[in-house]
Amino acid sequence: MTNIIIKTLAGLFTFFLFAFPAEAQTDLKRDILFMCQKEFDGRHPGSKGDSIVQNWVEERFKSIGLTPLSGNSYRQPFEVTDSYYFDATLRFEQKLKPANIIGVKKGDSDSFILVVAHYDHLKPNKEAGLIYPGANDNASGVAMMLRLAGNFSAIQTSSTLIFIAFGAEEMGCKGSEYFVENLPMDKDKIKMVVNLDMLGNLKNNTLYYSDPRPFNNLFAEIKMNCPELKLEEYDCGRSDHFYFWENNIPNTSISTGFDSGIIHTPMDREERIDYEGMEKIGSFLKRLIIMIDDIKV
């Protein structure tokens, strides 16, 4: 097993929260409101909203100063099949072409830290007139990813930071599956994948994370020195970290938990988002990425 040597500089593991500017909360709200527009039909793959959000994320990456992973394109297109069955009989099948949107902030070494979040959500129930806005799931994760990308645009890191908005997560993590199957870098060079999924409902200041091996010691140290948040390890099931985990690439998924009765319903609206909680989470994530970057593998 790879030996993890953690720097012993005095105070490295004294966890403190970075203050974000006052307008940061407004930026989070602005981004979540944009993604949850009724006209976007839930941002499901193949919808107008899905396409608009892809373009929007790409433009945001450009404005932040992120560069494409390769060539001139921020997009990694892939294909999925949308099928509809009734009485166990296939009634409808359609090929869709969503895309992963990828932006890069170059570091000083050949290692990588990936910060990822899915931008898609669910198809509306037109017969019942129901639209699923997906504010917490997962406009909150994308908004946080964009804020972190903006933060780190002004911070020099050893690792190259790759920010990815994955498509078609709600169809079985198809975007992240395709990315892992077509990794554009040596997987041994990926120091950590940090997946952001549902960050908008912080209850009792409890933030959940999935198995962070081989960084268990780091998370244990953070738990002891994080007064603003209660950090608990949990099994978050399938999200966009899953195929990294399946391929032995270090990863963790960060979440405020599954908001039962709200997630995947029309009730997952912007006005339910806990922005004060997201401020705490954003500060935690910024420090977490810096600490992962400081670790020598």
Answer whether residue 223 is part of any domain: yes
Neighbouring C-beta atoms of residue 184, cutoff 10 Å? 11
Residues spanned by the domain of 131? 23-294
Rounded Cα distance between 61 and 247, Å, is 28
Domain assignment present for 250: yes
Residue 30 resides in a domain: yes
Residue 17 belongs to a domain:
no
Per-residue pLDDT tens, the chain, 297 aa: give them. 434 434 432 233 343 344 455 556 689 999 999 999 999 999 999 999 999 999 999 999 999 999 999 889 999 999 999 865 445 555 567 889 999 999 999 999 999 999 999 999 999 998 899 999 999 999 999 999 999 999 999 999 999 999 999 999 999 999 999 999 999 999 999 999 999 999 999 999 999 999 898 888 888 888 887 888 999 999 877 899 999 999 999 999 999 999 889 999 999 999 999 999 999 999 999 999 999 999 887
Q: What pairs with residue 90 in β-bridges?
A: 85
Structure tokens at 108: 């000083």
- H helix runs in 65-154, sequence order: 140-152
Residue 137 covered by a domain: yes
248: CATH: 3.40.630.10
- The answer as to whether 62 is a domain residue is yes
Q: Does the CA dihedral 144-246-207-170 come out positive or negative?
A: positive
In a domain, residue 2? The reply is no
CB neighbourhood size of 187 (10 A): 13
Asked, for residue 3, whether it belongs to a domain, the answer is no
Total structural domains within the chain: 1
